[in-house]
């Protein structure tokens, strides 16, 4: 059913609303661990943050501090069930976060849908499973089944239990030969945890292999260097994966464990940065992909699955020379792009995210704006629009991508924050949009590096950009909604779950944390003075999350809010109330 927005009291006089997503900037109250006698002594807050590795609180952020001290500040839930993940132990991530922001409600997400499909057995009954796994040629060993994806329990892109379920399913189907192409994680899990998952996989394979079932690892590499690029940021990442997984080209090792241990010894690689490798048996790669083989990419999340899926299925592919392009039976764990129908075959149906904010606003002829740098560009377009790469109405949607640098972001933690601010401010002055959204990648991308000092700078860079946009907001009649999609830079060191104290490694150094956090995110509405009515935050919504933002935007813009969206966070008061700080 479509839904028509009604303008109750349209924004007049070129008023605008801009949502700013500070990616990976979770909120922890800087005063929480400080005794009351010490509370007001300046200087203590940063040092506490330095000890615990909280780069958000350690950073110099005068603008964010101003926002946080406002009466229109609150936090929002951004992890676990509040964003459609299986449990509240699941940290948030950009896909589920931006889906919730852009769709105004919470959908059961990939991680959860795949779990259910496995538990109910439906995953093994669908057409994709039949066509890709249930083939005679796999049962009589004429062809091989390949499984490729991220080897961890991060639950952001994949889960190792899903891989195990697929392998078991293939065995019951009568498949005889399976080859695995595994990407080491260290980004959604601890930076040096690969061995844990390799040992798990090894003992699983030992159990399941038999005279009639031969499942082995054939190739792999670190996820940021091999295969899992996104938003066409750097196709050479995918090319390296293609060469290792498909062609069997790359440095050879006797086993997965041997590859990871040797490479780590040679250079202090973090798991995510490991170079590509191929497992060699009797002088030959153990599992190249051949004509008529079957291939499943078992990650459920789409952004980093799209390019490899294209490389494996696209006839007229130009992004790198494939050398050899075997015709294969290909399926994704999910369909990664609903507009492109990519891939055609998929094991689990993705969440049916419909009637997104962009779509409703297009139907109401509202001009929109989205901007980020490459690394997060798809977050404010594709994820925001329910995992669709296209536009609803090109005339109303202005999307601007600032190319990201191809460097480790801890080397330039300011990333493209200044350029994003430049373009955004220009569009504010030009009145080119009525409702917009932008994303600053810094807190997240630098947070993933595990480099605390760089993460502090990354958050300061976002704050600087924020200050410029706040100034422009005053001059251009723009209301800002400043939020984050999930935490990351707020915990750069591993903390004990119970005591919240830093965990140290064998050398007495804090154990670095590269993954996201369970933190709530900040949410502030700024510059509501331009509205005729007074705005305050509702006080009866302690459990509100990212999905409440879409209605809040509509409310501020003077539209009715759809009853199928989560409610707005604000109320209008006719009387001017004194703001109590």
- Which residues share a beta bridge with 483? 21, 523
Q: Which of 181, 304, 310, 513 binds ligand 3PG (CB under 6 A)?
A: 304
Q: For strand 277-281 and strand 284-285, is the pairing parallel, antiparallel, or unpaired?
A: antiparallel
Calculate ∠ Cα 52-438-449, nearest 5°.
35
User: What's the closest the beta carbon of residue 228 comes to Co ion, in angstroms?
Assistant: 13
**Contact status, residue 428 vs residue 478, Cβ threshold 8 Å:** yes
Return the one option of ligand 3PG, Co ion, none that residue 304 interacts with (CB less than 5 to 8 A, by type): ligand 3PG
List, as own/partner pairs, every contact residues 345-350 make where C-beta atoms lie below 8 angstroms and the sequence separation is at least 24, other chains included.
Answer: 345/127, 345/128, 345/131, 345/132, 346/128, 347/114, 347/117, 347/123, 347/126, 347/128, 347/129, 347/296, 348/110, 348/113, 348/114, 348/117, 348/123, 348/126, 348/300, 349/113, 350/110, 350/113, 350/302, 350/387
Only segment of 38-46, 87-95, 137-145, 452-460 that touches ligand 3PG (CB under 6 A): 87-95
What is the Cα–Cα distance from 147 to 194, expressed in whole angstroms? Answer: 18
Residue 54 in contact with ligand 3PG, rule: CB under 6 A: no
Size of the site for ligand 3PG (CB under 6 A): 12
**DSSP 8-state code for residue 446:** H
User: What's the closest the beta carbon of residue 94 comes to Co ion, in angstroms?
Assistant: 6
- Which residues share a beta bridge with 553? none
Q: Which of 93, 109, 299, 387 binds ligand 3PG (CB under 6 A)?
A: 93
User: What's the closest the beta carbon of residue 93 comes to ligand 3PG, in angstroms?
Assistant: 4
Q: Which of 239, 444, 491, 494 binds ligand 3PG (CB under 6 A)?
A: 444
3-class DSSP assignment, residue 114: helix
What is the Cα–Cα distance from 438 to 432, expressed in whole angstroms? Answer: 14
What is the Cα–Cα distance from 532 to 403, expressed in whole angstroms? Answer: 39
Q: Which of 227, 246, 245 is nearest to 237 (CA)?
A: 227
User: Nearer to ligand 3PG by C-beta: 305 or 342?
Assistant: 305
Q: Compute φ and ψ for 537, nearest 5 degrees.
A: -80, 140
- Residue 94 annotated to the active site: yes
String marking each residue 447-486 x if it binds ligand 3PG according to CB under 6 A: -x--------------------------------------
Return the one option of ligand 3PG, Co ion, none that residue 152 interacts with (CB less than 5 to 8 A, by type): none
Q: Which of 94, 193, 227, 424 binds ligand 3PG (CB under 6 A)?
A: 94
User: What's the closest the beta carbon of residue 438 comes to ligand 3PG, in angstroms?
Assistant: 15
What is the Cα–Cα distance from 32 to 455, expressed in whole angstroms? Answer: 21
Residue 239 in contact with ligand 3PG, rule: CB under 6 A: no
Residues forming the site for Co ion (CB under 5 A): 444
Return the one option of ligand 3PG, Co ion, none that residue 188 interacts with (CB less than 5 to 8 A, by type): ligand 3PG
User: What's the closest the beta carbon of residue 157 comes to ligand 3PG, in angstroms?
Assistant: 6
DSSP string for residues in 4-47: ---BSS---TT-EEEEEEETT-----TTTTS-TTTTTSTTHHHH
- How far is CA 362 from its chain centroid? 25
User: Nearer to Co ion by C-beta: 111 or 205?
Assistant: 111
Q: Which of 58, 143, 166, 188 binds ligand 3PG (CB under 6 A)?
A: 188
Residue 187 in contact with ligand 3PG, rule: CB under 6 A: yes
What is the Cα–Cα distance from 178 to 132, expressed in whole angstroms? Answer: 13
String marking each residue 24-53 x if it binds ligand 3PG according to CB under 6 A: x-----------------------------
Q: For ligand 3PG, which residue has the nearest CB? A: 94
User: Nearer to ligand 3PG by C-beta: 5 or 21?
Assistant: 21
User: Nearer to ligand 3PG by C-beta: 15 or 157?
Assistant: 157
Binding site for ligand 3PG (CB under 6 A): 23-24, 93-95, 156-157, 187-188, 304, 444, 448
């Amino acid at each position: 059913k479509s839904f028509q927005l009604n303008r109750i009291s349209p924004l007049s006089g070129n008023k605008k609303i801009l949502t700013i997503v500070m990616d990976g900037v979770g909120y922890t109250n800087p005063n929480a661990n400080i005794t009351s006698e010490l509370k007001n002594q300046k200087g203590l807050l940063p040092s506490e943050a330095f000890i615990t590795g909280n780069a958000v609180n350690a950073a110099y952020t005068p603008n964010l501090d101003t926002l946080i001290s406002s009466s229109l500040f609150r936090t929002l839930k951004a992890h676990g069930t509040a964003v459609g993940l299986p449990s509240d132990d699941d940290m948030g991530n950009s896909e589920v976060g931006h889906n919730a922001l852009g769709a105004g409600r919470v959908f059961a997400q990939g991680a959860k849908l795949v779990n259910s499909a496995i538990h109910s057995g439906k995953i093994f009954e669908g057409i994709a499973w039949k066509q890709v796994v249930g083939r005679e040629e796999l049962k009589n060993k004429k062809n091989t089944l390949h499984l490729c994806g991220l080897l961890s329990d991060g639950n952001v892109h994949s889960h190792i239990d899903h891989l195990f379920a697929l392998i078991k399913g293939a065995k019951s189907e009568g498949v005889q030969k399976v080859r695995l192409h595994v990407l080491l994680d260290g980004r959604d899990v601890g930076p040096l945890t690969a061995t844990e998952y390799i040992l798990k996989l090894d003992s699983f394979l030992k159990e399941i292999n038999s005279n009639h079932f031969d499942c082995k690892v054939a190739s792999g590499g670190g996820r940021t260097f091999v295969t899992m690029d996104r938003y066409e940021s750097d196709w050479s990442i995918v090319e390296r994966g293609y060469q290792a997984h498909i062609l069997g080209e790359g440095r050879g090792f006797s086993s997965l464990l041997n590859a990871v241990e040797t490479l780590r010894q040679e250079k202090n690689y973090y798991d995510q940065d490991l170079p590509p490798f191929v497992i060699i048996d009797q002088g030959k790669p153990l599992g190249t992909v051949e004509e008529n083989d079957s291939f499943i990419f078992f990650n459920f999340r789409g952004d980093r699955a799209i390019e490899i899926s294209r490389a494996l299925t696209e006839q007229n592919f130009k992004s790198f020379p494939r050398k050899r392009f075997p015709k294969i039976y290909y399926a994704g764990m999910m369909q990664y792009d609903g507009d492109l129908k990519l891939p055609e075959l998929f094991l689990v149906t993705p969440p049916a995210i419909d009637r997104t904010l962009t779509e409703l606003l297009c139907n109401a002829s509202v001009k929109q704006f989205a901007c980020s740098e490459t690394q997060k560009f798809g977050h404010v377009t594709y994820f925001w629009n329910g995992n669709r790469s296209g536009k609803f109405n090109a005339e109303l949607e202005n999307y601007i991508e600032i190319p990201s640098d191809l460097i480790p972001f801890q080397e330039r933690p300011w990333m493209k924050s200044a350029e994003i601010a430049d373009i955004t401010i220009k569009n504010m002055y030009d009145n080119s949009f009525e409702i917009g959204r932008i994303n600053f990648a810094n807190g997240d991308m630098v947070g993933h590096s595990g480099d605390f000092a760089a993460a502090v700078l990354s958050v300061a860079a976002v704050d600087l950009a924020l200050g410029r946009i706040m100034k422009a907001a005053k001059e251009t009649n723009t209301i800002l909604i400043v939020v984050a999609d999930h935490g990351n830079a707020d915990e750069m060191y591993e903390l004990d779950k119970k005591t919240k104290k830093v965990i140290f490694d064998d050398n007495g150094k804090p154990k670095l944390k590269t993954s996201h956090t369970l933190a709530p995110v900040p949410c502030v509405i700024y510059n509501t003075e331009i509205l005729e009515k007074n705005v305050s935050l509702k006080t009866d919504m302690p459990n509100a999350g990212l999905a409440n933002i879409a209605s809040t935007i509509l409310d501020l813009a003077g539209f009715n809010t759809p009853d199928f969206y989560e409610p707005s966070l604000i109320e209008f008061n006719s009387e001017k109330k004194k703001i109590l700080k």
